[in-house]
Chain A
Amino acid sequence: MEIAPPTELSQIRESVRALCAAFPGRYWRDLEPSRYPAEFVAALTRDGWLGALIPERYGGAGLSLTAASVVVEEINASGCNAGACHAQMYTMGTILRHGSEAQKERYLPPIASGELRLQAFGVTEPGAGSDTTSITTTATRTASGYVVHGQKIWTSRAEHSDLMLLLARTTPRDEVARKTEGLSTFLVDMKAARTAGTMTIRPIATMMNHATTEVFLDGVELAADALVGEEGDGFRYILDGMNAERVLIAAECVGDGRWFTQKAAAYASERVVFGRPIGANQGVQFPIAAAYAQVEAADLMRYRAAALFDQGRPCGPEAGMAKLLASEAAWAAANTCVDAHGGFGFAQEYDVERKFRETRLYKVAPVSNNLVLAYLGQHVLGMPRSY
């Protein structure tokens, strides 16, 4: 497979690395358990990185997904955490692909400049995680638009976002032929809803610093033009946006995997026990080498999925596999890194335990790896539906 990175890839890597160097482990440790990395996100915004995927005519950089994925990869490979802001890069894809020209002109330029943050994505609900079409949040038509009732959970960065892309049911499930129908996507002005008292956000304490929340929607009023695309087609739009998200998450996992293997290899070469570096023992060295191989293999699938996406070709299986393989590889690398560090793997000042907690998420979110396997089993291998 030909992977010909354009000239700017090396420059992107250099610039992102240089930016990240100003945010070392100490910065991230001091944020724990729950302070948002506002300075880091501001620096990425200032240098235009979060507008990477927005076309140039709307004020973005018009990067390919391949190049944009390098941005988040380098962030995580530098020991930073792209999870704080990756959604600002891709959530706008739904507006870009399915929004009206008026919506694009109104929202994309301020999202590109960072003036408006669209990095909250309200899909998951307490009663509907993997089974997305079972969501019960409803948007009911009113004279002037819609009114929304329901609850979302795991809505990350909601407190640090101006807009939320919301999935809600617009036609009751028993009135549509298929449960994938009757769902719609909306662009919600969160500030307005919070001011009106119809939206309440509650942070959820988690094992890593991720600014995730639950959001209560009690009569949020939306104008008719908050609807993105056609009413009832929302599930398709969400699925369609997932490929870009999965490729970016895969790239973050590859970045994590690189960080863990490099950190582990360096420590194993330095730490002397029984009179020689621990890395001179195959029991220490081989798991690190094996994790490295796993990360590199996952990286190929990530580039393949990204290339298909950039060519406008179907890439559902590849994007899913990239996310699956990369999250498993990063997790293998994380465990290897903790093992190699022995007790020091648990000490906060080494950052290993922090990255370990952070990378664990991607086996579960934005989609559980089981569901990726279920998709491959059914849709690629033609086996019976398992969910």
Chain B
Amino acid sequence: MKIAVCVKEVPDPTAEKRIDPDTKRLVRSGENTLNRYDRHAIEEAVRLREGAAPGAEIAVVLVAPASASRTVDKALAQGGDRSVHLADDGLSGSDIVATSRALAAVLARDSYDLIVFGQQGSDAECYVMASAVAERLARPCVTQVAALALDGSSLKVKRQVETGYETLEVSLPAVISVSDAINEPRYPSLPAIMGAKRKPHEVLSLADVGLAAGDVGVDGSRTHVSALSKPPTRGDSVKLEDDGTAAEKILAFLVERKVVA
């Protein structure tokens, strides 16, 4: 079985997010790291390899600047067998439309049985990349997978929805995104951290995946950010300083709104 786990490099989530007023893009010049939601995706792939799909090969796939080696190493230490990294200056400024085109082009070079995404990027919080890539590859897609079991050539999945869980079956090859409740990712051991550098790293350019400069980057994008503003502060919020009666006040507030009886 061949599994691809798509991972994203994001700004260190402990640092404050900043928008460059000129480019209107997120500032990514600080410390960058592996998107924490993707750790659940890698972990789930590793669990498949340890369980129902022994010998499965896990490729870590990413579209990121050439400097993303720390992210690649982390993903491989976590359990990936090799990395496929599309790094090209022409990708800068890509939106979801352009990035999904680039990712799909990288993924199409190989015949993956399963393509796994994390549920969202901790930077842009869009939740849609799995669906966009699945659409481009014309594969079935299930998002927010909270549990999965491999059954021959199909996957039985539990999907988290607002009202509960949906139980679905999807035939492979397929694309899924996993929720952050699906597992508790393990932290790598020292040999795994040190071994990551010895795993095969494939670095590709746009030309290698058959894309032209205009297909991606700003030119290949379909969204244009015209202005940015902070969300208005909510005028009706009440701030309580706890003088020992806060719990009672909160309860009264909830009772008044009939949230609790």
| A40-61 to B contact mask, C-beta < 8 Å, 1/0 | 0000001111011000100001
| A15 with B194, Cβ < 8 A, contacts A7-B69, A8-B73, A10-B70 known | no
Which B residues from 185 to 229 make CB contacts under 8 A with A?
187-191, 193-194
User: In whole angstroms, what is the CA distance A66 to B74 when docked?
Assistant: 20
Task: Select A47's contact among B69, B70, B73, B189, beta carbons within 8 Å.
Answer: B189
Which B residues from 138 to 197 make CB contacts under 8 A with A?
187-191, 193-194
B70, B74, B187, most chain A CB atoms within 10 A: B187
B77 within 8 A of A: yes
User: In whole angstroms, what is the CA distance A244 to B192 when docked?
Assistant: 24
| Nearest CB in chain A to that of B69: its residue | A7
The answer to whether A15 touches B187 (Cβ under 8 A) is: yes
A11 within 8 A of B: yes
User: In whole angstroms, what is the CA distance A47 to B193 when docked?
Assistant: 10
- Grouping DSSP codes into helix (H, G, I), strand (E, B) and loop, the A interface class, with mixed when no group exceeds half, is helix
Residues on A with C-beta less than 8 A from B74 are 11
Residues on A with C-beta less than 8 A from B191 are 48, 61
The answer to whether A12 touches B187 (Cβ under 8 A) is: no
Which B residues from 57 to 104 make CB contacts under 8 A with A?
69-70, 73-74, 77
| A13-36 to B contact mask, C-beta < 8 Å, 1/0 | 011001100000000000000000
A203 within 8 A of B: no
The total number of A-B Cβ pairs within 8 Å is 41
| A19 with B187, Cβ < 8 A, contacts A12-B193, A61-B194, A62-B194 known | yes
Task: Select B189's contact among A7, A15, A56, A62, beta carbons within 8 Å.
Answer: A15
| Nearest CB in chain B to that of A48: its residue | B190
| Nearest CB in chain B to that of A11: its residue | B193
Residues on B with C-beta less than 8 A from A71 are 190
- Grouping DSSP codes into helix (H, G, I), strand (E, B) and loop, the B interface class, with mixed when no group exceeds half, is helix
The answer to whether B73 touches A11 (Cβ under 8 A) is: yes
User: In whole angstroms, what is the CA distance A19 to B188 when docked?
Assistant: 10
The answer to whether B188 touches A15 (Cβ under 8 A) is: yes
Task: Select B187's contact among A10, A18, A56, A62, beta carbons within 8 Å.
Answer: A18
Chain A interface residue bracket vs B: 20 to 34
| A52 with B187, Cβ < 8 A, contacts A7-B69, A10-B70 known | no
**Shortest Cβ gap from B68 to chain A (Å):** 11
| A47 with B190, Cβ < 8 A, contacts A7-B73, A11-B74, A11-B77 known | yes
User: In whole angstroms, what is the CA distance A56 to B73 when docked?
Assistant: 19
The answer to whether B190 touches A49 (Cβ under 8 A) is: yes
Residues on A with C-beta less than 8 A from B187 are 14-15, 18-19
Residues on B with C-beta less than 8 A from A47 are 189-190
The answer to whether A7 touches B70 (Cβ under 8 A) is: yes
The answer to whether B190 touches A12 (Cβ under 8 A) is: yes
**Shortest Cβ gap from A269 to chain B (Å):** 16
User: In whole angstroms, what is the CA distance A52 to B187 when docked?
Assistant: 17
| Nearest CB in chain B to that of A47: its residue | B189
User: In whole angstroms, what is the CA distance A118 to B194 when docked?
Assistant: 23
**Shortest Cβ gap from A176 to chain B (Å):** 42
User: In whole angstroms, what is the CA distance A158 to B105 when docked?
Assistant: 60
The answer to whether A15 touches B70 (Cβ under 8 A) is: no
Residues on B with C-beta less than 8 A from A14 are 187
**Shortest Cβ gap from A268 to chain B (Å):** 19
Task: Select B194's contact among A8, A18, A19, beta carbons within 8 Å.
Answer: A8
Task: Select B190's contact among A7, A10, A18, A61, beta carbons within 8 Å.
Answer: A61
| B34-73 to A contact mask, C-beta < 8 Å, 1/0 | 0000000000000000000000000000000000011001
| Nearest CB in chain B to that of A46: its residue | B189
Residues on B with C-beta less than 8 A from A10 are 33, 70
User: In whole angstroms, what is the CA distance A19 to B73 when docked?
Assistant: 19
**Shortest Cβ gap from B62 to chain A (Å):** 16
The answer to whether A51 touches B190 (Cβ under 8 A) is: yes
Residues on B with C-beta less than 8 A from A48 are 189-191
The answer to whether B189 touches A8 (Cβ under 8 A) is: no
| A154-191 to B contact mask, C-beta < 8 Å, 1/0 | 00000000000000000000000000000000000000
| Nearest CB in chain A to that of B191: its residue | A48
**Shortest Cβ gap from A167 to chain B (Å):** 30
User: In whole angstroms, what is the CA distance A15 to B189 when docked?
Assistant: 7
The answer to whether A15 touches B190 (Cβ under 8 A) is: yes
| Nearest CB in chain B to that of A7: its residue | B70
**Shortest Cβ gap from A65 to chain B (Å):** 15
The answer to whether B189 touches A11 (Cβ under 8 A) is: no
| B103-116 to A contact mask, C-beta < 8 Å, 1/0 | 00000000000000
- Which residues of A are in contact with B by a Cβ distance under 8 Å? 7-8, 10-12, 14-15, 18-19, 46-49, 51-52, 56, 61-63, 71
24 A/B residue pairs, CB under 8 Å, sorted by A: A7-B69, A7-B70, A8-B73, A8-B193, A8-B194, A10-B33, A11-B73, A11-B74, A11-B77, A11-B188, A11-B193, A12-B190, A14-B187, A15-B188, A15-B189, A18-B187, A19-B187, A46-B189, A47-B189, A49-B189, A49-B190, A63-B190, A63-B194, A71-B190
A-B complex: 8 closest residue pairs judged by Cβ atoms: A48-B190, A47-B189, A18-B187, A15-B187, A48-B191, A61-B190, A7-B70, A11-B193
